[in-house]
Every structure is written in structure tokens, then in C-alpha cells.
Amino acid sequence: MVDYNTLRKTVAALVDGEDDVVSLMATVACEVHHADARFHWTGFYRVVAPELLKIGPYQGGHGCLVIPFARGVCGAAARLEKTQLVPDVDAFPGHIACASSTRSELVLPVWNKSGQLIAVFDIDSDLPDAFTQEDVDHLAHILEDVFGQI
């Protein structure tokens, strides 16, 4: 399991003073990805146009390049601006299989300090039911700490 207190402090120290969104996303994706073996793919999908996400910085195998808000778990998180905690991706209507090994998924919306949705943060696991509400709560705080300041 993740030592979220240490992870939060590490991320805060690494991004201190940085305001470039891509640099921030790259740092968060890397640190979170390496914090727990459950995290098979970890990265951001950026809002680049109305109703459209494109891949941003990530760790792991290839990801989907473009995801409309109308499709998949990432699209649902963006469209609804609500965290998607999916214990079984095969049971999620419209799931997009960017990697066939993915069994469960956690996607959190990312807002800037103006409250504008700028991205979603996607974590995939090759384990079923890999994520908990504790993951949601801690990761939401980290995302708010980092992106709620820009």
C-alpha cells in the first residue's frame, strides 16, 4: 500500500515553485506510478477542446491518444467531473480497452485554481478491485495541492 503522507510531501517538495502544467503532470504521474505495485498505468488525459481529452504525461505502456468525453471511464470522469472508481472494467459500459491487461481503474478529475477542469488523472491496475476510497481521498488531496495553485 501507498505511504500517502510521504508521497504527498515528496510531490510537494518536487513541484515547489513550478507552474508549468506539463512538468507538474509528469512529476505527479511518475511519483504516483512508482509508489505502489498496483499501479500498472498512471497518467493524465488533458482537456484540449470541448468534450475532448488527449494523452498527457504518463508512466507505463502505451495509452489511448484521444478520448471523447462520451466514451470510457476517463470520458465519464471528465463529462461528470466526478471520480470514477471502477472495480471491474469489463462491467463498465463503454469501457475503452487501451491495454487488454487492465482489470480495474481509478480516474479523478483535475481542476485548476479557477475551478476549470484541465485534465483527468487515470490509474489502471492489472488486478481486479485494486483501488479503495482511501486511494481516492489521498490522491484527490495531492491533485488539489498541485493543480489547485495554478
pLDDT by position in tens, the chain (length 150): 899 999 999 999 999 999 999 999 999 999 999 999 999 999 999 999 999 999 999 999 999 999 999 999 999 999 999 999 999 999 998 888 888 899 999 999 999 999 999 999 999 999 999 999 999 999 999 999 999 999
pLDDT single digits (tens) 36-70 = 999 999 999 999 999 999 999 999 999 999 999 99
| Separation CA 94–CA 121 (nearest Å) | 18
In degrees and rounded to multiples of 5, residue 58 shows phi and psi of: -155, 170
Quote the cell numbers at residue 96: 475503452
Q: Would the pTM of this model clear 0.95, i.e. be above it? A: yes
Say if CB 31 and CB 14 are below 8 A apart: yes
- Match 476510497 to its residue by C-alpha cell: 133
Nearest residue to 55 via CA among 103, 8, 119, 104: 119
What CATH topology corresponds to 4-147? Beta-Lactamase (3.30.450)
Indicate the domain borders of the chain: 4-147
